[in-house]
Amino acid sequence: MILKKHKILVDELTVLPMIAANFNRKIMFAITRDAPVAELVDALDSKSSSFAGVGVRFSPGAPLPYNIHGTWILAKLVWIRLVLTFSLVVGVVAPAQAGFGPSLVFDANTGEVLVADRAGETWYPASLTKLMTAYVTFKAIRSGQISLDRKFTVSQYAAKRPPSKIGIRAGGKVSVDFALKSILVHSANDMAVVLAEGIGGSVAGFAGRMNAEARRLGMTGSRFVNPHGLHDKRQVSTARDLGILATTILHEFPQYWRYFNAPNMRVGKRRLKNRNKLMRQVEWVDGMKTGYLCTSGYNLVASARVNGKRLISVSLGARSGKGRNEFSKVLLEWSGNGASRSSLRLAKIRNTGGAAKNIRQQVCKTRQRVTWGKTSELGGWGVSLGEYKSAYTADAVLQGRILISRRFLSSGKFGVFKAIQPRHYVAMLSQMQQSASLTFCNYLRRHNAHCEVLTPQTFATYLQQRAVAKKASGKRRTKKNFNRGKRANSR
């Protein structure tokens, strides 16, 4: 691993076991290595460096070893302050976040990052683009260029945009107020073009404004070419950038928050519900925006008030709408209960650059929407994260718990399994060490999250019960099909 800032090759970093339980506390650690470490002196300015995601703050004046060679040579002990982030502790390999893309939760008032996973990775924003469309529109209103009552004409180009759309014919007129409701409640692509043409003179002109605002806000991983988010491989963003945009809207234009949390809107005799179903499912979630494309998966920026905190979450690349909502809920609940603390600030997250991942195959072709586990891999020690009526909920809980607790995972298999009770599903991890399963569960339980340690015998009993239930289910199915056949023939 290369620490680029100080040009050091770190072969191994061994931290005393107390790291897991002692957040923000001075402890001692030892470095063992196979390369010179003289350059490490550069770190003695009390500025945080980063070792594989673990922030390390060195105390000024601490003695440091250098010109040390050889294998597994113990250096002098050095006092440090560890600021835990939400990446892997060195030497620990966590399961991949299958089924979900980049994610982020932060405090909108302080910028404190509470959960982050690949937050700087390039992604297709889909209809989250309309957050920037709304922001540029709000600024045009504030500058006096337009007003909420101003009416724009629907062009042929706008009328021909594919759904989601309101469907007003070309030549019709709509107010800015109506167009804003349409893009933020119903995610209407045609109304996004109406705003773009009315404010920017053309889609290209409006996109220029969008990119200018992105640069001003420091959204270095974002580029916009249209106001609606329909697929264009050039139009990309990151969870970090979208978080910056969301919190900017919240603070600069609180008077327009009603557009982001309206439960519905009326169009003639139609009443169109807000596409953000999480607001209807969770009372403390109070708004923001959804997005979906085959190429991007299901995206969501959600705002919530939890235990006196104003939190914003960004979840990208979910394989289903239900999974997206449940995953966001899991991360917001965890962040709101005080379990997550960090010195990392939103603006300090680095965008990684590169091309956006196209996940059309998983989302719209193979439809791999749940991380199903393999019964053949059940064994050893493990944990159960609960039984749920929905496979989507079980999967979201599984992926969320792995993300927020992954520093305690060194190995293991994971997945969603059918419970013994019909139409119920269990989120489980297996093939863990006994100590790892105990540590993992103890951590979750301390923060009021369900976790049950599973022994090898528990897995054996589960597999036996599954086999019996499957056999009984097969018999019932055969009888049911036979009866249907008799009735059909009698007709």
Residues designated as active site: 127, 130, 187
Q: How far is CA 422 from CA 130, 190, 373, 417, 451, in A?
A: 41, 44, 17, 12, 21
According to DSSP, residue 147 is labeled -
Q: How far is CA 99 from CA 42, 389, 407, in A?
A: 41, 19, 20
Is residue 242 helix, strand or coil?
helix
Q: Give the Cα-Cα-Cα angle 121, 347, 254 (nearest 5 degrees).
A: 110
303/316 Cα distance (integer angstroms): 15
* Alpha helix ranges (H) inside 253-318: 258-261, 278-281
Tokens of 238: 């990151």
According to DSSP, residue 217 is labeled H
Nearest Cα to 348, choosing from 24, 47, 13, 130? Answer: 47
Nearest Cα to 289, choosing from 446, 179, 182, 139? Answer: 182
Nearest Cα to 155, choosing from 137, 146, 168? Answer: 168
Nearest Cα to 413, choosing from 433, 429, 390? Answer: 429
- Encode burial over 252-276: b for 16+ CB neighbours within 10 A, e otherwise: ebeebeebbbbeebebeeeebebbb
Tokens of 185: 């409640």
Q: Which amino acid is at 435?
A: S
Peptide bond preceding 164 in cis form (omega within 30 of 0):
yes
Helices 129-143 + 189-200 axis angle, to 10: 40
Give me the DSSP letters along 360-392: HIIIIIS---S-B--GGG--SEEEEEEEES-HH
SS3 content of the chain, % helix, strand, coil (to 5): 40, 25, 35
On whether the CB atoms of residues 258 and 322 are closer than 8 A, the answer is no
Strands 309-318 and 54-58: unpaired
